[in-house]
Amino acid sequence: MDHSTESTDPKDRLAVALDLPDTHHALALVDRLQDSCRWFKVGMELYYASGNSLVETLRNRGFQVFLDLKLHDIPNTVAGAVRSVTKAGASLLTIHAGGGPAMMAAAAEAASVPGAPRLLAVTVLTSMDAAELTAVGVAASPAEQVLRLARLAQSAGIDGMVCSPEEVGALRAELAPETMLVIPGIRPAGSDAGDQRRIATAAEAITRGASMLVVGRPITRAADPAAAARAILQEIAAADSQSALKK
């Protein structure tokens, strides 16, 4: 997705995180969203419970699937996993940038075939702050580590990144213009941050250069998930309009 020519439809810029335990609960939520959303993120909890069948069900219902598996293993194993996921029809797939250049290059090669998902390199999880990084031996700040890993990922052939709202502006300025920047840690103003450390509102993230936002609990745990999703879509549209006026 070239940032300069990406879709202006807010529905292409929001992925709802189906962080639920099984297919039944996931599809019940999809039904409650009343077609307010086009993209759904399927993470490890749900994928391990439901497998590729859920991905195929969502695709058959006309939705796009962001498969968030954060692959991190030896290069051959990750390449094999990318090939397996390709068969299910997911449009986006995450790998960990921390797996290193050889692993990412192997994943990129496996994803170079027709029908393969676009790969996104996860830089530093939004649950981690400077103290968490120090605990695992990383002396750099989260912002420094995100930029280091993003540069490494791009040099290995990965043209999409996952980072927090705090780093999106720096990555947008540093990386190629077509780089897709996917941003979790989105919270409506005044809402509970939960276990996320580096967060922002939807408007803030879009203004800083985000390509797509991932939103979970503020939508999935809302009394009216469809209304919550529409409110975020309106916030995205308003931020896009403001950005366009400044150009």
Three-class SS of 185-232: CECCCCCCCCCCCCCECHHHHHHHCCCEEEECHHHHCCCCHHHHHHHH
Active site residue 70: yes
Does the pLDDT at position 132 exceed 80? Answer: yes
Contact 160, 119 (CB under 8 A): yes
Burial 8-39, CB ≥16 within 10 A → b, else e = eebbbbbbbbbbbeebeebbebbeebeebbbb
**Which listed residue (11, 41, 70, 247) is catalytic?**
70
Q: Using pLDDT thresholds of 50, 70 and 90, give the confidence band for residue 193.
A: very low
DSSP letters spanning 80-130: HHHHHHHTTT-SEEEEEGGG-HHHHHHHHHHTTSTTPPEEEEE-S-TT--H
Is the pLDDT reported for residue 191 higher than 90? no
What confidence score (pLDDT) does residue 224 get? 96
Q: Domain residues of the chain, as ranges?
A: 10-246
* Mean pLDDT value of segment 22-38: 95
Q: What is the average per-residue pLDDT within 240-244?
A: 74
Decide: pTM greater than 0.75.
yes
| Rounded (5°) CA angle 85-40-165 | 105
Question: In sequence order, which residues have a C-beta less than 8 Å from that of residue 18 and are 6 or more positions away?
Answer: 26, 29, 30, 40, 41, 42, 43, 46, 220
- What DSSP state is assigned to residue 73? S
What local confidence, expressed as pLDDT, does residue 242 receive? 74
Q: How do residues 60-114 score in pLDDT, each as one tens digit?
A: 999 999 999 999 999 999 999 999 999 889 999 999 999 999 999 999 999 999 9
Question: pLDDT tens digits for 58-69?
Answer: 999 999 999 999
**pLDDT tens, 223-234?**
999 999 999 999
3.20.10.10, 3.40.640.10, 2.40.100.10, 3.20.20.70: CATH of 10-246: 3.20.20.70
Percentage of the chain with pLDDT > 90?
78
| Digit-coded pLDDT (tens) for 145-166 | 999 999 999 999 998 999 988 8
Averaged over 19-35, what is the pLDDT?
94
The pLDDT score that the predictor gives to residue 215 is: 95
152 vs 47: CA distance, rounded Å: 28
Residues paired with residue 160 on neighbouring β-strands, in sequence order:
180
